Structure 1
């Protein structure tokens, strides 16, 4: 199962005379294969998985054998996912915004132990983490940290310091200034799943649902399949399906030709 093409996803619906009728590419077995892929995709959050399944259902089952336009597909997806608890926004809007590719640094405030060197052994004994790591270990205030950007990935590593070691913090921040300036843009580690499974103008969709007209995709691309992960083999390219309108009929184009 490859990426389905949502033609003109964010554009105005075609006139009635240009509506297309589904032909091929639908059916429960195909959707079952698609759903199996989505459920096995460990990158998907629960909300992203729900959104992908809703798009798959709309394009492969609900509108696979009937006349419809693209906006009918989006309407089906919106209603399938429903509204937020307040009822003021479609959950689909939130899901698309959260799928915008980006990097989450994962700053965990609960693990902000001061990493300044320990000068004397802690009285809790040799098995205490402070003695094993040779660090102060005092809980640091959440704003007292230095960011070290990793040379290969651009990912952040946080170094925390307590109030007694703020002089260390100032020194470390200065030491990291130059190497951080040479670090690459962080490799995205969240979002980017819609382009994996469906072809469309997702850059425009992300900008619209983020409310950021100037949002730019990462230099690594918008599809999570294209992002390099150190130590992990790259995901093989997927066979891509494209829904194309030909003489008013919706055909499914595969690498072997239309069917």
Structure 2
């Protein structure tokens, strides 16, 4: 499957800037531009009726309220794992809430508020597959693993546990799920929160299962443009308040269900 290159992404961004304005213009009109994933059930999902659901959506909406924006003043824009930094750098969005794991490489390009959620990398396989119980079972040239361009998950697995596995990188996790269902790959990997959302999605019940691996610790943060310490501080304050008033717990239960064993809300430390 052909994946857009960084140059093409930059060209699209440049064209959008000349035709639609940037988030600075959005602010003047009283809107907050937020980058989210459109294809992650439970995290960030654009539903068929055009509404948005998911934990990141609820977190962004809460942050927006603390910044003075009503829900109808928040404009959700689709981001992919490989263009989150570019969209912030080009002012296409004011902040990114998109299962965005904080790491040193990303902090060279953007600043993070948070963290606001802790997830762990896992594997999703077909429900009838008994050949994979752990990540090392993929360490075979005959096995193929799917992840998305710009994600750290496939790199983590390839470097540490399954160097012989074939890798299919696509633009979005929904494409990985189709490849898994069609037996084009043997597993897909990303955070357990995202995988659980896909497995529980209506129509997917009983088709897939998680292997229960804790292959990494992923601290989700809110990305802001590098150097925007004022916005970073305001978001940190909003996240702390969300935990304190119970809204964080309510959002976890609402989006992941009672069976999902989420870790407690992490301490907000970014920027401090």
Length-normalised TM-score, structure 2: 0.23
Bigger radius of gyration: 1
Q: State the TM-score, normalized to the length of structure 1.
A: 0.24
